[in-house]
Amino acid sequence: MMIQQHRFVDGFWWPATTFFRDVPSEMHLAAEPDQRLDIRKETSFQGMMTLDYASNSDKMDMYIEASGRAIDAKGDTLMMATNLPRTFKLETTDDWGVRIVSSGDGVEELYMRQTNVPGAPGVFLDRLEIIGEDLKGATITIHRPLGYPVIIIDDITTGRLVSSAEVHVQPGEYVPIMGDLEIDGRGVLLDAQFTGFIPTSTSMGVNGVVTDLSVVSTLTGGSVETRHILVVEPITSGVASVLAMIFG
């Protein structure tokens, strides 16, 4: 089944398209951008696409692609899901994070991409991608002590989560002498994993992170929740950004 709508904004038609496969006999689906907006709070997930799904089957596949202007959202959105469980929610939280909740064994495969998202003055999110496999749940929040971003991924008991991003920066917004110079941002992420209060592993990634909890889940029967704390390492990130500017 296919559903498509177009919205006329600023002299152009902007599309939003949805495909369903193996549609169940009974289904409830609500897909819409989050309407809570507050520039005084964390803005990373404000205006993102949310999803509330319930049905009498766990076999449906779904594809949603929408231009931001078609749905009054920041940036353009692409979402694909394979074998959705009987209930699945992608929603924002009271502390301005995002939460994934599902029934049964979780969603078999989930892919989300947001592009062309304005961040702060002089900072533009070109691409944000999240890939999940056998994912029952996860909660992502961002805190900024002294303005420095700390990303916390909570409530994961099973599955695999991969995220990556591309950002470009215009330092001229803050240092006028740099004019219209654009720099591809590189963020070196330090990932500290905790099981309960016990640190269990650390890893490092550039512009992304991979979280694989299948071994922990197998050994504990899915009863242990794991937390990941991700911090952008400033010195290495600055070096990586300069090298990207020089060598492309």
Q: Do 33 and 7 touch, CB atoms closer than 8 A? A: no
Q: Do 141 and 154 touch, CB atoms closer than 8 A? A: yes
Q: In what order do the strands lie in the sheet with 198-206?
A: 27-33, 49-55, 87-92, 98-102, 137-143, 150-156, 226-232, 188-195, 198-206
Residue 246 pLDDT class (50, 70, 90 cuts): low
Q: How many domains does the chain have?
A: 1
Interatomic CA distance for residues 56 and 87, integer angstroms: 9
Residues 54-75: tens digit of each pLDDT:
999 888 999 999 888 887 777 8
Of 17-21, 22-26, 89-93, 129-133, the range with the lowest mean pLDDT is: 129-133
Q: By residue range, what is the domain housing residue 68? A: 1-118
Average pLDDT, the chain: 78
Q: What is the pTM of this model?
A: 0.74
**H or E segment and range at residue 141:** strand 137-143
Residue 69 lies in a domain: yes
Residues 154-201: tens digit of each pLDDT:
877 677 777 777 777 777 777 788 777 777 766 666 676 766 666 666
Residue 138 lies in a domain: no
Residue 159 lies in a domain: no
Residue 201 lies in a domain: no
Q: Do 152 and 229 touch, CB atoms closer than 8 A? A: yes
Residues 35-46: tens digit of each pLDDT:
888 878 887 788
Residue 195 lies in a domain: no
Residue 242 lies in a domain: no
Residue 184 lies in a domain: no
